[in-house]
Structure 1
């Protein structure tokens, strides 16, 4: 099968192009991207698309980088292609950030691509990733993460800047691309840095891939078929997983996400892994975090059991907690209680007091209670201020705390109350308590109210505690 026919067939199978698409072709000047640009120059009318080109000079190779840009410009001038080009001082950025050169190059390059996508209103960014790139990506993924995502390699298309990024060359090899250009007598630029072993991908390209090609000269094509099948299987399984995720995972105001572990355990293991991947996709944007094998394994292990308390600290200030058969994912700050030892609540102040994230209190005289103070979630607790002397205070739990409950002769230990009410272990020491001036606990906010309070107004009740 000819090179052109192979690419055409792949584009049609993956539905990479639509009539009237406006393509922005990324061109470095190397053999791959020059072949990509020339392919669309010669087939744009056939596909019914229009094209522009974009080039980035990373300023890493001095005069050679500038010559790459001039070379691409001459080609675009010859064929009437509009070229968007810029120079980005990667060495300066790297010195400031002390970061990885390749990662910085990629970030800045795609940032510029995004700007030009918006400026030109292009519908698709087109890159020249090919079958050899796919092979190298799978090998790198195998040695780094070995997750289901990394084994699927590079996808034919993905979302980018609200539009699409497509890779029409994924099923053709580097050799086929080079032969295509040579057959047409077209020139290209060689990047000397590609011959160095400074980067991981180059080391795989120079030392690992040649050994595999000795065993099977068509190994890149085989891996291309392999990843395509994996992607198709995974798409089906992810559809099932997404449906399951919406049924067993709950998002609420206090916790980012929560689920009953028993329900999770009933799901086949193949879907369990994907449920965790879906969760990580909701929590994070960074692909390295989402595809982290360590995170995936830690969360799966956390769901191995339903009994006992355990927690896993996640990136960006999140924490996963197993408690009383439930998994919850929330921000660590949600576990924090009152910000100071004592927060007085004085009825005459008649103001809202925030006691913890998402919970506030207000004391009002019963005669001053109005619907303007109440929301749909507000709870009202009535009491007699002559029996419960004001002001009241908020503090966290102390050793030996007890509270007298309705129907009990002796105060109940809060340590027992927290167990009975299934309050997570990591939240107990910071849970807000309502206390009197004599340090008597009269309420565990949001859990149980003491003997002084009633949900209905009694004859002698003259004050209301609003919990919202």
Structure 2
């Protein structure tokens, strides 16, 4: 019964394929022992390779040593390679300012990953069961969570972690171990209400079962399954939008504001989470408040603002996108300089815009075009190459009222300091021809004598 149920979970969720190498987290308790034994039986039916990994946390003294001894003997009896490591987990947690549960979990997954990579395996199997699922959902409810959190524990993760016995309840697992005379070790700390999960397991769930619902575990898990289905649908819609609204490159994830500003908040939240996950691999340190802070950068009046996030991430609001990056960018240090190739579209990476140019004969020129956001220059007054760059110290431009420093002009026009390095200048040799979007040098303006007109647009 237990073995067949495990196989069904594996098949339904495509957890294991022929030829997989699977690292099994083996504590020596009933869950992990049942997991190892059922996978061992599965290895007799399909070609998979199993490795066991055990971490001695050095918390329980002699009992911890006996756990390690039990694990090694069990693996020896099943001819399964076994890796055992002892680490002073309390000291590690103290040194890294972590809670005992969190620190132990981090070390376990770190060791699992090391063995997986060393042995050329591709999966890590963890012994979470149905009771763990219900406990996790309750913990997340009490901490405050959204739909994604109410999904509970996932059957598989993108990093290769799988949970083949997630559909088995603890009672069935213990009965299986008894039936096969596996004699798993019992961690006495699991029977003490000293950790959050233990309190839920030993106090809250039994109370809910006796006072409200005898099948509370199944009810909570069914709720999680239902919400997982709803969440999967929303995520599928997010994926469609993300194809064009979010791009991740070596310098970070770009979220294009115009594409998502009218989306439902549920979509926006997930797009931000996805962008962060693509950089960090997970979002365990990201809270709802962090997502909200990123979304607060979306209005246009937040342009060129910066936000610091956990794990060394920064969010920047540029002209029409939000950049989430592990690289710290100082706005005043931005510098760019491009030769303008007439008649072609040129992407200006630093401002994430495209420069377009074309020559127009005076006879074909519509003076109403002055109103549509483009700039027009007398091309015959331009000598040699022209370039597009941002401001430099000492830059000046000649206007009707005389020559003016661009710095003073920006101040007078009330251009925000953080925006000034992003404003494009058209330069002919050392002469500022125009400040795109603001002013044109009086010597290069189109007049009645102009024969050829250079049209410039930056979108």
Aligned to 2:293: 298
Contact 2:26–2:53 under 8 Å retained in 1: yes
1:246 is displaced (CA, Å) by 2.6
Aligned to 1:398: none
- State yes or no: 1:357 paired with 2:334: yes
Counterpart position of 1:122: 121
How far did 1:414 drift?
Answer: 1.6
The CA distance in 1 between the partners of 2:252 and 2:188, in whole Å, is: 52
User: Contact 2:335–2:421 at 8 Å: present in 1 too?
Assistant: no
Aligned: 1:334 with 2:325:
no
Q: 1:314: which partner in 2?
A: 308
Q: CA deviation at 1:454?
A: 6.8
Which residue is 1:207 aligned to? 203
> Compared with structure 1, are the counterparts of its residues 141 and 310 closer, same or farther at alpha carbon in structure 2 (3 Å cutoff)?
farther
On the 8 A contact 2:24/2:126 being kept in 1, the answer is yes
Q: Which of 247, 254, 257 is residue 254 of structure 2 equivalent to?
A: 257
Call closer, same or farther: CA 1:226–1:26 in 2, change over 3 Å: same
Question: Counterparts of 2:443 and 2:126 in 1: how far apart (Å)?
Answer: 68
1:427 counterpart = 2:427: no
Give the 5 Å matches for 1:226-241: 226-241=223-238
Partner of 1:142: 141
Contact 2:294 2:307 in 1 (8 A): no
CA-CA distance at 1:255 after TM superposition = 8.5
The 3 A distance-change label for structure 1 pair 453 and 14 is: farther
Local SS of the residue matching 2:110: helix
Task: Give the aligned partner of residue 247 of structure 1.
Answer: 244
Residues 128 and 165 in structure 2, CA contact (< 8 A), matched pair in contact too: yes
5+ residue gaps, structure 2, are 340-345, 350-354, 356-378, 384-390, 426-430, 446-459
Residues 255 and 107 from structure 1, CA distance in 2 versus in 1: closer, same or farther, beyond 3 angstroms? closer
- Within a 5 Å distance, the mapping from 1:277-288 to structure 2 comes to 277-288=273-284
Q: Which residue of 2 is the match for residue 352 of structure 1?
A: none
Deviations 1:254-273 (A, max 9, x none): 98524234x42432343233
Once residues 43 and 253 of structure 1 are traced to their aligned partners in structure 2, the CA distance between those partners, rounded to angstroms, is: 41
* Structure-to-structure mapping, 1:17-416, within 5 angstroms: 17-160=16-159, 164-214=160-210, 215-249=212-246, 257-261=254-258, 263-290=259-286, 292-303=287-298, 311=305, 313-315=307-309, 316=312, 318-321=314-317, 326-329=320-323, 333-337=328-332, 356-359=333-336, 394=393, 404-406=397-399, 413-415=409-411
In structure 2, distance between residues paired with 1:89 and 1:259: 46
2:441 corresponds in structure 1 to: 451
Q: Describe the superposition over 1:353-402 as per-residue Cα deviations: whole angstroms up to 9, x where unpaired.
A: xxx3342699xxxxxxxxxxxx99699x9999xxxxxxx9627xxxxxx9
Q: Aligned partners of 1:409 and 1:213: how far apart in 2?
A: 84
Q: Distance in 1 between matches of 2:306 and 2:217?
A: 39
Structure 1: gaps of 5 or more residues: 338-355, 363-374, 385-391, 396-401, 420-424, 435-440, 456-468
The answer as to whether partners of 1:16 and 1:168 remain within 8 angstroms in 2 is yes
Partners of 1:453 and 1:63 in 2: how far apart?
89
Distance apart, 1:27 and its partner CA:
0.8
Q: More displaced, 211-220 or 245-254? A: 245-254
Deviation per residue, 1:426-454 (Å, 9 max, x gap): 614777999xxxxxx96998877873997
RMSD after superposition:
4.0
Shift of 1:155: 0.6
User: Residue 255 and residue 447 in structure 1: after superposition, are their counterparts in 2 closer, same or farther (change >3 A)?
Assistant: farther
TM-score (norm 2): 0.72
Show CA shifts across 1:143-201 (max 9, x none).
Answer: 224123211111101133xxx22101111111121122123333111112222333222
Instruction: Supply the distance in 2 between the matched residues of 1:283 and 1:19 (Cα, whole angstroms).
Output: 31
Comparing 210-219 with 59-68, greater Cα deviation is found at: 210-219
Task: Work out the CA distance in 1 between the residues paired with 2:245 and 2:39.
Answer: 47
Name the TM-score, length of structure 1 as normaliser. 0.71
- Post-superposition offset of 1:33: 0.7
- Which stretch shifts more, 226-235 or 103-112? 226-235
User: Using a 3 Å threshold, how does the CA distance of structure 1 residues 301 and 37 change in structure 2: closer, same or farther?
Assistant: same
Q: Is the alpha carbon distance of 1:333 and 1:13 closer, same or farther for their aligned partners in structure 2, counting shifts above 3 Å?
A: closer
The answer to whether the 8 A contact 2:53-2:84 is kept is: yes
